[in-house]
A and B are shown apart, each in its own frame.
Chain A
Amino acid sequence: MVGSNINPELIHIDRVKRGIAEILVRWDIVPTKRADENGNGYTEYIYSERRMEWCLPEPLKTKEEVQKYLNSIYDTGDIATGNILSWAKASKVTLI
C-alpha cells in the first residue's frame, strides 16, 4: 500500500509521449488518522496504486484534454477497451 499526506488524484499523468500516457492509477483510497512525531494528528491517505502506460485513442492536444479523457474512463466503459481501473487492478493478479 502507498501512503501520502496528500489526497491523491485517481489518475495522475506523468507524461505523454507518442500517443502513450504514462500514468499512475489509484484506488481504494482510505483517509487514515495518524499522529505525527510530536503527537499531532494528521490525515494520511492509504491506497493501492499502479504505474502503467495507456495508449490514447486520438490526438488530444493538451494535458488537460488527456486528463479529462482518462478521467472519463477511470472506472467506466468496456473492460476490454476502456476502464482503466480494471486494467490497473488486473495487472496485480498473478495466476499460476
Chain B
Amino acid sequence: MNDLDLIKEFRADVREPDLRQLLATRARLMRTLEETAPRRRPARTQRRWVIATVGAGAGLALAVTLPGVLPEGSPGGAEPAAATALQRAALVATDRPAERMPKAGEYVYTKTKSVRTSFYVPGDGLRNLSFTLRNTREDWVAPDGSGRITEATGKIGFPSSADRAAWLAAGSPDLGQDVHGSAATERFGAGELSFPDLSELPTDPSELQEIIDDGRLPGGNGYHDETFQFVGELLNESYGRPALRAALFQVAARFPGVEYLGEVKDPAGRPGAAVAYTHNGYREELIYDPHTSVLLASKQVLTDPDKIGLEVGPDTAPRTILSGPGDPGTVLDSTVYLKSGVVDSTRETP
C-alpha cells in the first residue's frame, strides 16, 4: 500500500446523506436558485381552452382546461414533507405486486367520475357565471386500441344561486351542453383509442422526467403533458410496472414547491393522502391511498384567477384574452378513479 492509498482510505467510511435528507436539500436548494434566477422563460405554446362560442352576442362559454406549460420560472423540488410522503409512496409502490397486463383480446377497464366547472362570460357588463357538469365514464381499451366508452353527463348545475340568477339574467343562454344531461356508448375499432405503451418508459426518475418535460410520451396527445396531473394519469395507466409507479412518485416530488396536504378524503369519501402543486393560478391535487400507492382522485382548484387568462377562440377572431372569471377556491375539475382492472370483454367489469 503506497502513501496515496493510505490517504485515500482516510475517512473513507463517512456516512452518505440519506435519501430523505438529500431530497430535502434538493428542494431547499432549488427554491434558493429560483430566488437567485431572473424570472424569465421563453414563450411556449399554451394549449389552453376548449371553447364554445355561444349565441349571437358576446356570450362565450369557456370550459377551462389546464395549461400545458411548465411553471413560469420555478425550479424543481418538493417541500420536505411532500418529498417524504412521495418517497414513501414510491417505496410502497415498489413493494406492491405487479398488476396483470392485458393480453390480446383483453381490455383494461376504468371507471371515473368527474365534476368540471366551466365559465360563461356574457359580456355587455353582465356578471360572469360558473356552471358545473358531472360526468361518469367507463372505458374498455384493448392493447390494439379497440374498445368501448360509455359516458353519462348529468344535468348542468350551478355552484351558487347567484350563478343561476346570472344565467337567467343573461337570458338562459345555451351553455354548449345538453342542459338535461346525456348518455352515450361508442364502440371503437383497432387503433381508434389510445393504449399508451408504457413498457419502454425508464424507471430512473431523471430520465422519466426528461421524457415528460419534452412531451416524448408514447400516445401523448400533447394536451396534458408537463403537468402534475399528467403524472397522475400515468400513475393510473402504469399497469404492471411497480418500478414505473415508484419513479412517477419520485418525479412528482421534483415539481417545484409540491406540498403535502396530509390525510384527506377523496371526493368519493375514501381516505387518502394528498399532495398539491400550484402553478399558473391553479392548484393541482393528487389523492392517493398511502397503503397501496393507488391513485384515488385528482383535483384542480383555481387559486389566482388573474393569472389564468382565458383565451377565446379558435373560432372567434381576433383571439381575445379574458382574465379571471372565477373565484379563488373554485374546483375546476375533480376526477375520482373508481375502479380499474383487466377484463375479457367490453361487457364485463372487474
A and B, one complex?
no
